[in-house]
Amino acid sequence: MKPAPTFMHPVHKTMTMRSRLNRISPFLLLVIFLVFWTCYGFFTNADTITLAKIILLPFMIVNLLLADFAVWNYYAGKRKPLIWIMESVLAAAILYWFI
């Protein structure tokens, strides 16, 4: 008796490196920058790292990742220039406030 063919859900397909790079957005770059910049600020005892920013950092990271996921799914990744413009403006404002 042969085993039944297995069903592979489309979500579980392996992503190539090129498809991962197509998903890079300003919010993801901002999250990576904020994590490394905060670590740098801790080690150098920078005056720009305040208690409020330390408390808000995890919430900001989660909200940026959620917003990025929502925008990319809403547009289905088809309007990349529009996504980049919207996210770049918001990322610049967040970066201005955070640094």
Residue 19 lies in a domain: no
Burial class (CB in 10 A: 0-12, 13-18, 19+), 25: buried
Give me the domain span that covers residue 54: 25-98
Least Cα distance to 69 among 96, 31, 97, 37 occurs for 31
Residue 31 lies in a domain: yes
Residue 42 lies in a domain: yes
pLDDT at 42: 85
Residue 83 lies in a domain: yes
Q: How many whole angstroms separate alpha carbon 27 and alpha carbon 86?
A: 10
pLDDT at 2: 64
State which amino acid sits at residue 59: F
Residues of the chain with pLDDT under 50: none
Domain count across the chain:
1
pTM for the model: 0.76
Least Cα distance to 28 among 63, 56, 68, 55 occurs for 68
State percent of the chain over pLDDT 90.
Answer: 47
pLDDT at 30: 95
Residue 20 lies in a domain: no
